[in-house]
């Protein structure tokens, strides 16, 4: 018996990005929270240039 692939949940969800006001404080907080993502991306880009 073969296993069926797991089905992704495609239920639409409310995006906080669409409903959160773009205030300087919210943008600063978002930028600070994304530091690890930017660092990981930079490592990937730099690794591809060697």
Question: What are the tens digits of pLDDT across the range 1-26?
Answer: 567 778 899 998 887 777 888 899 98
Whole-model pTM? 0.49
Give the 3-state secondary structure of residue 10: coil
Confidence of residue 49 (pLDDT cuts 50, 70, 90): low
pLDDT of residue 1: 56
Are the C-beta atoms of residues 35 and 29 closer than 8 Å to each other?
no
Residue 28: predicted pLDDT: 94
Is 10 contained in some domain?
Answer: no
Q: Is 1 part of a structural domain of the chain? A: no
Give the chain's domain count: 1
Is there a domain that residue 14 lies in?
no
Whether residue 2 lies inside any domain: the answer is no
Domain of residue 43 covers 21-48
Within a domain: residue 44? Answer: yes
pLDDT for 23 equals 93
């Amino acid at each position: 018996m073969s296993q069926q692939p797991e089905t992704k949940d495609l239920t639409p969800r409310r995006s906080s990005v669409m409903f959160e006001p773009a205030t300087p404080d919210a943008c600063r907080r978002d930028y600070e929270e994304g530091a690890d993502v930017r660092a990981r991306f930079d490592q990937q880009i730099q690794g591809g240039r060697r």
